[in-house]
Amino acid sequence: MGSLAARSSMAPPMVAASTEVETKPMNEGAPPQATVRTARPADSAAICRLVNAWADEGLTLRRTEEEIRVNSGEFVLAERPGYGPVACGALAVFSPSMAEIRSVAVEPMAKGTGAGRSVMVFLLDVARTLEVDEVVLLTKVPGFFARFGFHPIEPGELPGPFMEEAIAGRGRTIQGRTIMLRSLL
């Protein structure tokens, strides 16, 4: 992390705080726009609801509101005017060269409207701004992430410390999930 901080202090990250995107309207007459922005601690409850809506199905890892509040700087949130939060995701920087995308979740009513895409595009922009070389993730929906340039890899291709801290250390298993990687170089 030390060298990342050094790199950041030389070239401060220029991550857009907020961006407006065109998506499909959630219902007839609803506006097509959504806004994606970096999350604030006050968004923790909303993010917690989005993430945990899919935890029983094993699609997301259940997270507590407190855990999200402490790590709120990692999260981005997509909102629709007049509706509220519709999607979230997180980028956890693991080393100067590697980050993990976590907790990508779309409000069930907003599935298929482009909310997931808007979060992925924003998270990859953040990763590029932080000059991360590679982004990894674990997922049960590899087809979605393949659309954003991720390809499946074997567990042995991940650095040992990542396996220990980011997977076993968070009580996760790889079982049933595809490990995917995207190079940003």
Binding stretches for ligand COA (CB under 6 A): 54, 59-60, 104-106, 111-117, 139, 141, 143-144, 147
Shortest distance (Å) from residue 74 CB to ligand COA:
15
The residue among 72 and 139 lying less far from ligand COA, judged by its C-beta, is 139
Shortest distance (Å) from residue 115 CB to ligand COA:
4
Residue 88: partners with Cβ closer than 8 Å, 6 or more residues away: 39, 46, 47, 50, 51, 75, 76, 77, 78, 103, 104, 105, 119
Contact 74, 67 (CB under 8 A): no
CA–CA dist 148, 129 (Å, integer): 17
Shortest distance (Å) from residue 69 CB to ligand COA:
21
Shortest distance (Å) from residue 129 CB to ligand COA:
22
The residue among 96 and 100 lying less far from ligand COA, judged by its C-beta, is 100
Residue 138: partners with Cβ closer than 8 Å, 6 or more residues away: 167, 172, 174, 177, 178, 179, 180
What residue is closest to ligand COA based on CB? 116
Contact 184, 132 (CB under 8 A): yes
The residue among 71 and 113 lying less far from ligand COA, judged by its C-beta, is 113
The residue among 97 and 144 lying less far from ligand COA, judged by its C-beta, is 144
